[in-house]
Amino acid sequence: MSRTFTLAQIAKWIDGVVRGDAATRIDGVAGIREAGPGQITWLSDDRYAADLRVSRAGAVVVPSGYGETPMPAVLVADPERAMVEVLGRFAPPVPRPEPGVHPTAILGEEVVLGREVRIGPHVVVGRGAAIGDRTVLHAGVFVGDQTVLGQDCEIWPQVVIRERCRLGDRVVVHPNTTIGSDGFGYVFAGGRHVKIPQIGTVEIESDVEIGANCSVDRGKFGATRIGAGTKIDNQVQVAHNVRIGPGCIVVAQCGIAGSARLGTGVVLGGKVGVRDHVVLHDGAQAAACACISKDVPAGSTVIGIPAVEHRQFLRDRTSLRRVPGLLEQLEALARRVDQLEAAADD
């Protein structure tokens, strides 16, 4: 069933001020270009001002003090933050298993279940595992022996969390991610690659979110750790004994090699590669596709292959753009030298 709200109601949610008809009714949210008369959109960057002038949206959320708009507006301090609330209000209910344990689920001996857990069809929970209050395990999840999940976690379909791993409270893991797989460790002996036993585990602190199709390897010994509040995008590889600090952002298709360390608030753009044992100190940032082969100081931004400090990268690129012209000058000078030498011979 669709729900509609007035602009006055929406403004109250987001501590905004209505400009125009506060009785305008809104039944959904869409982008500036796609929004129709019954939908609300938002503008947080002047690059889209031209789109707003021709938008069919019924209303718009804009920064406080923003100029006239062709439709009623809600003025707020931070449109992006405000839209988090608006989207949440309009979001349809998320399908979840019914409270309790589905008849097709398999629970091992000595499993401890908290209050109001939801365990969906074909879930397997290993011996001695513990599932915290209100945690949801969607269809097909595997939880290994002695693994501990905190309260209010949401583990989406087909996630594998192997034995002896620990997840804090409010951890979200999206479909087909594997936590606690063996780290990639071999020694070459006797003419073949011999596997090194990976006897460690994985520890994930509270409020972490991990995207779909990620791999977080267990430690060779000790633990691979992900700090509180860190958010990891889809298709990310976290190798054995990596330490990721709190509040980090790791974007899609990053690969973090064994024993690398990320400090607090580190940001890795898409497809960043981090070499083993490298340290990215607090607040470091890496642009997309950077290949990081040495430590990055706190607060620095690096870019390129191999990664260098971004201002150095810009200087290098500027110099490279001059190379074709310099080559032409060099060729001209070489021709002139040849001419002078020929004249001297005469």
Please give the DSSP secondary-structure letter assigned to residue 48: G
Cα–Cα distance measured from residue 312 to residue 320, given in angstroms and rounded to the nearest whole number = 12
- Which one of 3.90.480.20, 3.40.1390.10, 3.40.50.300, 3.40.1010.10 gives the CATH number of domain 5-90? 3.40.1390.10
Question: Residue 2: what pLDDT?
Answer: 63
The per-residue pLDDT for range 255-299, each reduced to its tens digit, is 999 999 999 999 999 999 999 999 999 999 999 999 999 999 999
* Locus of tokens 């036993």: 197
Maximum separation of any 2 CA atoms in the chain, in Å: 102
As a CATH number, domain 100-308 is 2.160.10.10
Q: Quick one: which of 23, 22, 27 has its CA closest to 40?
A: 27
d(CA 168, CA 153): 8
Give buried/exposed letters for 308-329 (b at 16+ CB in 10 A, else e): bebeebeeeeeeeeeeeeeeee
pLDDT of residue 7: 96
Question: Domains of the chain: which residue ranges?
Answer: 5-90, 100-308
**What single-letter amino acid sits at 226?**
I
Q: What is the pLDDT of residue 331?
A: 85
Check residue 148 and report its DSSP letter.
E
Catalytic, out of 240, 277, 281, 310:
240
pLDDT of residue 345: 64
Query: Does pTM top 0.85 for this prediction?
Result: yes
Which residues make beta-bridge pairs with 227? none
Q: Quick one: which of 119, 168, 116 has its CA closest to 143?
A: 119
Specify the DSSP element, H or E, that contains 175.
none
Residue 240 known to be catalytic: yes
**pLDDT of 333:** 87
Contacts by residues 41-44 (CB-CB < 8 Å, ≥ 24 positions apart): 42/79, 42/80, 42/82, 42/83, 42/86, 43/79, 44/79, 44/80
Alpha-helical (H) ranges within the chain are 7-13, 49-53, 79-90, 310-345
What is d(CA 58, CA 7) in angstroms, rounded to the nearest whole number?
A: 10
- Nearest CA to 276 out of 233, 217, 195, 197 is that of 217
Residue ranges for the chain with pLDDT beneath 70: 1-2, 345-346
Residue 120's contacts (CB-CB under 8 Å, 6 or more residues apart) are: 96, 97, 102, 105, 136, 137, 138, 139, 140, 141, 157
pLDDT of residue 44: 87
Q: Are 304 and 313 in contact (CB under 8 A)?
A: yes
Spatial separation of the C-alpha atoms in residues 106 and 35, rounded to whole Å: 46
Which pLDDT belongs to residue 45?
86
